[in-house]
């Protein structure tokens, strides 16, 4: 591992995973900290509590479809939800640069409050720090979330088996593409909004439709759908086979990717989950997802071969491996 931190360490790719394993899991080595999940599930004796924490440095702070405040609540609630937890309460810490307008900070706080109300959670504690002008970039946020996992809900990539079906809850890559366009650094304009949104209702619908046939869920944030599927393949040791023609990508996202040489499967979403379900539950879960978002789709399956790789069948009939990126395609997208 490199001796100093680079932007690539925050991308969600291979260097991020290496940093988490070698630094943080080594430092916080306990039963809750060894799993690379979005929330820590504490032992049953602790009441099936789920905890998660996250930081947000998105640039620009306001973008079509959201802002850093909405994003912080959605990201934290979603991390709890995809582990099967009912989100209960959140805390938030603000790092504010000297010179930031009070009106802007108020707008961010109002967005957080509105999103928390929509999620049915309470913001119960917080902290504020201010740094000198030039030492930050307006506003950074850190949030932590608390939730409870109902009895009988067991989600985890270790449950994946051959024959399982892979589904996505809607079109992919829109958040990162929308943030890129909002920066105004490329000569292309499109009416593209981030998919930034809450997933607790989506997870509830998946569990209601699929019951015990739902093996695992993850929200596809940094590193996109491809990175989530790489994590599934690595944990299960099985190969994942995807049909590229079935993965929903909006035309505007595809155009951005073609212009800049990006891969939409690695672009971050902020309101999409990737679920793996048993074949007996696939039709019901797919119907439930499409009832919430028409672009939801069945995109692949789990093969019987060992190897822990993700294979994508392209539009011309070929196959290529989707591996973790070493770095990221765009920094500061969440």
The DSSP-derived string for 68-118 is HHHHHHHHHHHHHHTTT-EEEEEEEEEEEETT--HHHHHHHHHHHHHHHHH
In this structure, are residues 326 and 13 in contact, taking their beta carbons and an 8 Å threshold? yes
> What tokens appear for 69 in the block?
């405040």
Structural domain ending residue among the three candidates 125, 148, 171: 148
Residue 43 has pLDDT above 90, yes or no: no
Mean pLDDT within 113-123: 94
- Note whether 203 and 72 are same-domain residues: no
> Is residue 22 very low, low, confident or very high in pLDDT (cuts 50, 70, 90)?
confident
Residue 162 and residue 137 in one domain: no
| 33 pLDDT tier (thresholds 50, 70, 90) | very low
Pair (207, 310) in one structural domain: yes
Rounded to the nearest angstrom, the gap between the alpha carbon of residue 72 and the centroid of all alpha carbons in its chain is: 12
In a domain, residue 72? The reply is yes
86 and 48 housed in the same domain: yes
Question: Which of 78, 112, 110, 111 shows the shortest CA–CA distance to 92?
Answer: 112
**Residue 17 resides in a domain:** no
The answer to whether residue 327 is domain-embedded is no
14-18, 113-117, 156-160: which range is least confident on average? 14-18
- Which band of pLDDT confidence, cut at 50, 70 and 90, is reported for residue 207? very high
178 and 109, same domain (yes or no): no
> What is the reported pTM?
0.90
The residues, ordered by sequence, that sit 6+ positions from 37 with a Cβ below 8 Å of its Cβ are 83, 156
Q: What percent of the chain has pLDDT over 70?
A: 91
Q: Quick one: pLDDT at residue 24?
A: 63
Confidence band for 31, pLDDT divided at 50, 70 and 90: very low
Q: What is the pLDDT, as a whole number, of residue 32? A: 41
Q: How far apart are CA 57 and CA 140, in angstroms?
A: 5
Do 48 and 131 belong to one domain? yes
Helix-then-strand count for the chain, H and E: 9, 14
pLDDT at 204: 98
- Residue found under tokens 């190969």: 239
Domain that holds residue 77: 37-148
Name the residue among 98, 110, 112 with its Cα closest to residue 143. 112
pLDDT tens digits along 60-108:
999 999 999 999 999 999 999 999 999 999 999 999 999 999 889 999 9
d(CA 252, CA 258): 10
The better pLDDT of the pair 128, 170 is held by: 170
Please check the confidence at residue 145 and state whether its pLDDT lies above 90.
yes
pLDDT band at 217 (very low <50, low <70, confident <90, very high): very high
Give the mean pLDDT of 50-54. Answer: 95
Q: What's the gap between Cα 242 and its chain centre?
A: 19
Higher pLDDT, 192 or 18: 192
Give the confidence band of 9 by pLDDT, cuts at 50, 70, 90. confident
In which region does residue 177 sit, left (phi positive, over 0), alpha (psi from -120 to 50) or beta (all else)?
Answer: alpha
Count the neighbouring beta carbons within 10 Å of the beta carbon of residue 272.
30
Q: Which of 99, 121, 148 is the last residue of a domain?
A: 148
Residue 211 sits in the same domain as residue 241: yes
* Band of pLDDT at residue 303, cut at 50, 70 and 90: very high
Number of domains in the chain: 2
Rounded average pLDDT over 226-238: 96
What does the alpha-carbon distance between residue 200 and residue 223 come to, in Å, rounded to a whole number?
Answer: 21
Quote the pLDDT of residue 306: 86
Which band of pLDDT confidence, cut at 50, 70 and 90, is reported for residue 27? Answer: low
Nearest to 92 by CA among 61, 53, 65, 121: 53
């Amino acid at each position: 591992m490199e001796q100093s931190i680079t932007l690539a360490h925050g991308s969600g790719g291979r260097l991020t995973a290496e940093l988490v394993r070698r630094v943080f899991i080594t430092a916080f080595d306990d039963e809750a900290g060894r799993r690379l999940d979005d929330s820590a599930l504490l032992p049953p004796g602790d009441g099936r509590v789920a905890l998660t924490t996250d930081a947000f440095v998105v640039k620009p702070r306001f973008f079509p479809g959201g802002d850093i405040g909405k994003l912080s609540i959605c990201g934290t609630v979603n991390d709890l939800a995809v582990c099967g937890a009912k989100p209960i309460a959140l805390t938030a810490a603000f790092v504010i640069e000297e010179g930031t307008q009070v009106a802007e900070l108020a707008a961010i706080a109002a967005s957080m409050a509105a999103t928390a109300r929509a999620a049915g959670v309470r913001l119960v504690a917080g902290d504020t720090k201010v740094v000198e002008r030039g030492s930050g970039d307006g506003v950074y946020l850190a949030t932590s979330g608390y939730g409870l996992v109902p009895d009988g809900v067991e989600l985890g990539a270790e449950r994946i088996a051959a024959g399982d079906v892979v589904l996505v809850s809607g079109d992919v890559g829109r958040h990162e593409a929308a943030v890129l366009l909002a920066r105004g650094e490329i000569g292309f304009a499109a009416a593209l909004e981030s998919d930034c949104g809450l997933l607790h209702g989506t997870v509830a619908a998946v569990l209601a439709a699929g019951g015990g046939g739902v093996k695992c869920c993850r929200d596809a944030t940094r590193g996109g759908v491809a990175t989530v599927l790489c994590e599934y393949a690595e944990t299960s040791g099985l190969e994942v086979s995807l049909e590229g023609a079935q993965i929903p990508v909006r035309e505007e996202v595809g155009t951005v990717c073609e212009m800049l040489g990006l891969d939409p499967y690695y672009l971050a979403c902020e309101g999409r989950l990737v679920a793996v379900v048993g074949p007996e539950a696939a039709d019901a879960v797919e119907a439930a997802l499409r009832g919430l978002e028409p672009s939801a789709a069945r995109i692949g399956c789990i093969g019987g071969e060992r190897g822990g790789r993700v294979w994508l069948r392209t539009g011309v009939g070929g196959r290529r491996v989707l591996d973790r990126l070493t770095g990221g395609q765009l920094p500061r997208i969440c």
